[in-house]
Amino acid sequence: MALPSDVRPKSRFSSDFDAPPTVGAQMAWKTKWALVSLCLLGGWCGSACADEFSQVSRYSVRMFSYGLLTIDSRVGDIHIEGWDEPRLEIEAEKVVRAKSDEAAKPLYEELKVVLEGKDKRVSLHTLYPPRKVWRPFRGEARLSVNYRIKMPFDANLAMKCVDGDVWIRGVVGKQVVMVNYGDVEVDIPSLDRLRSLRAHAWLGYVQSDLHGEDKGGFGPGISYWNPNGEQDIYVKVRMGGVFVYRDE
């Protein structure tokens, strides 16, 4: 059940393509990218003139060991911690940019936190207002949701995030984490229990105390295999960093 909390000013948490063959096509591409840039610049300028406000809601649902939590988030940071309770607890912080408290209130209503299922399968996703074809990026910079989540330590996790940083600690179940833009940090509770690790950044850097540090650049990654383990971790970041450490 959602329990809205206070509303207060706030600071945030700390494809390849072939070259067009003709001049006309080149100009068409330049025109498209110019329009996209103008849309982004317009949204950024509007947001820069506003302050940040936040509203916190809390959710709870029963979740069993070896269940699956699926997360689909667009913009916002996600903190996940494993604990020894048969329950999933979520703190969702809606962050909006507006000129005043009153102007922020209708923006909160545009963001929907949807929690479905219980026991063996639970899904969490964020719904944003529909995009307009003629102004697809309008308002994107002023709406986000940060999550703080406690889940059974031996449950499984599958998540996608478009833009945000992710921290995962104390979870020994299977993890599949995919982030377009942001950093991902995974703390491994037990190296003996880890069977496989695959972490890859398409453009960025990967660091781990399992295999040292890979230099940044195009496509760094690390892998680890232990035939006696049982936990599998897969992390893919398009632009950003991946950090994997032993939690010891």
Q: Which of the given ranges, 120-124, 191-195, 210-214, 220-224, has the highest pLDDT on average?
A: 120-124
Task: With beta carbons less than 8 A apart as the criterion, state whether 166 and 152 touch.
Answer: no
180 or 51, higher pLDDT: 180
pLDDT at 129: 85
pLDDT at 9: 44
Task: Please spell the DSSP secondary structure of 104-162, one letter per residue.
Answer: HHHHHHH-EEEEEEEEEEEEEEEE-PPPBTTBTTTTGGGEEEEEEEEEETTSEEEEEEE
Q: Is the pLDDT of residue 21 over 80?
A: no
Distance CA 88, CA 107 (A): 27
- Give the closest residue to 219 by CA, choosing from 232, 234, 236: 236
Rounded to an integer, what is the distance from CA 158 to the centroid of its chain? 11
The tens digit of pLDDT for each residue in 142-164 reads 799 999 999 999 999 999 999 99
Q: Residue 135 has what DSSP assignment?
A: B
Interval 31-50 mean pLDDT: 50
What's the pTM? 0.76
pLDDT at 29: 44
Phi, psi of 138 (to 5 degrees): -65, 125
At residue 229, the 3 state secondary structure works out as coil
Residues whose CB is less than 8 angstroms from the CB of residue 32 and which lie 6 or more positions away in sequence, other chains included: none
Q: Residue 161 has what DSSP assignment?
A: E
Q: Is the pLDDT of residue 175 over 50?
A: yes
Distance CA 36, CA 123 (A): 33
Distance CA 244, CA 57 (A): 30
Task: With beta carbons less than 8 A apart as the criterion, state whether 97 and 47 touch.
Answer: yes
Domain ranges of the chain: 51-246
What's the count of helices (H) and strands (E) in the chain, helices before strands?
Answer: 2, 14
pLDDT at 210: 82
The tens digit of pLDDT for each residue in 89-123 reads 999 999 999 998 898 899 999 999 999 999 999 99
Residue 64 tokens read as: 């069993």
